[in-house]
Amino acid sequence: MALPSVWSAVRVAILSLSVVGLLSVRLVGAGQDSGSVIPAESRPCVDCHAFEFMQRALQDLKKTAYNLDTR
C-alpha cells in the first residue's frame, strides 16, 4: 500500500520542479530585457526587412537565370 504515497510524492515533486523552472525562466527573461533598448524610431520595421530580403532573393534569382541562359 506504499505505492499511492510514492505516486503522490512524485506528483508533488514534478509540480514543484515545473513551478520553479517556470519562475526561473521568467526571471532570466526579465533580466535580459532590461539591457540595451533600441527606440522604435531607429529600428526598421519588420515589413522593411522582409521587403529587402525579398529584393535580394529576386536579384539572386535573376542572376542565376541569366547565368543559366548564357551557358
Q: Cα 41 vs. chain centroid, distance in angstroms? A: 23
CA 30 to chain centre: 15
| Cell numbers placing 19 | 513551478
Distance of CA 23 to the CA centre of its chain: 18
| Separation CA 63–CA 55 (nearest Å) | 12
Q: What is the pTM of this model?
A: 0.36
Look up residue 2 and give its three cell numbers: 506504499
Residue-wise pLDDT tens digits, 12-56 = 888 777 777 777 766 555 555 556 777 767 766 777 778 888 889
Three-class DSSP category at 4? helix
